[in-house]
Amino acid sequence: MNDVDLGTDRAHGARIYDYILGGKDNYAVDRAAAEATKRIWPALPVHMRANREFMHRAGRYLATECGIDQFLDIGTGIPTPPNLHEVVQEVRPDARIVYTDNDPIVLVHARALMAGSEQGRTAYVEADLRDPDTILSSPEFRETLDPNRPIGLMLIAVVHFIEDDDEALDVVRRIVDVLPSGSHLAATVATDDFAPEMLAEVRRTYHEHGETLRWRDLSQTERFFDGLELVDPGIVQMHKWRPDDDTYRQIPEADIAMYGAIARKP
């Protein structure tokens, strides 16, 4: 791993996320980006924790309510327990998970993502969402998941790193199109619908530190779910999607900059 370019000269969303969640796998540029963002938008930690909690709820819902026992998690991020396999294998010990990320730091720590249950299986693919063919043709994907059975596709806080709308929609559609009927897409999509002026400054700050960020409004978010059957309550701010308790009621809408939803492929 000594020759891996860790990209420490520019911020990376996965490492900013890690820093905000209290992790140690981040660099000065990531911490600077996070702190600069917090000065503009103090709710950043609340927002990022809500995103992680949505992933947990979505994973449990798919495993428990939908019977999904195999998952493709693209844009995994740095391992921060509980990870997806820990959540779903608690419900279905035989669940199989393929993790994917383009950050070499995640690759360095990928062993933490491999420690699943004895009955299940986990695998890791170093790849970018922009290159779905590499993901879908990888031995890790083909040997871990059965393409003829429903798959839970997790796109948690990742599509906003693709700034071109047509490209983002195209890569998501290319993946969804190869999934069998009964598969589900769970996604969070960054939006500035609830605090546009403040979040315009957040985007500028991300760009200044070398990271991309694209806000999308509700109508743009809906396009990622075209042709799919949205699960109740549909597309809502992610902390409002089937919350575990009433804590979400105390969070101002301006503190959450993501829509969240789950939809089934007919």
CATH of the domain at 253: 3.40.50.150
Residue at 4 is within a domain: no
CB atoms inside a 10 Å sphere around CB 36: 18
The tally of domains found in the chain comes to 1
Residue at 104 is within a domain: yes
Distance in angstroms (rounded) separating the CA atoms of residues 82 and 208: 31
Amino acid letter for position 163:
E
Residue at 8 is within a domain: no
Give the total residue count for the chain: 266
pLDDT score, position 2 = 42
Helix (H, G, I), strand (E, B) or coil at 251: coil
Residue ranges in the chain whose pLDDT is less than 70: 1-7, 111-113
pLDDT score, position 1 = 40
Q: 245: which DSSP letter?
A: S
pLDDT score, position 25 = 80
Asked whether the beta carbons of 14 and 105 are under 8 A apart, the reply is: yes
Residue at 6 is within a domain: no
Domain that holds residue 190: 13-264
Helix (H, G, I), strand (E, B) or coil at 189: strand
Asked whether the beta carbons of 248 and 240 are under 8 A apart, the reply is: yes
Residue at 154 is within a domain: yes
Of the chain, the end-to-end C-alpha distance in Å amounts to: 43
Residue at 82 is within a domain: yes
pLDDT score, position 112 = 67
Residue at 2 is within a domain: no
The pTM score is 0.92
Distance in angstroms (rounded) separating the CA atoms of residues 79 and 60: 18
pLDDT score, position 7 = 57
Q: Alpha helix locations (H) across 21-138?
A: 28-40, 44-64, 84-91, 104-108, 132-137
Q: Which two tokens stand for residue 38?
A: 């917090």
pLDDT score, position 6 = 53
Residue at 5 is within a domain: no
Q: Give how far Cα 262 sits from Cα of 57, 231, 265, Å.
A: 11, 6, 10
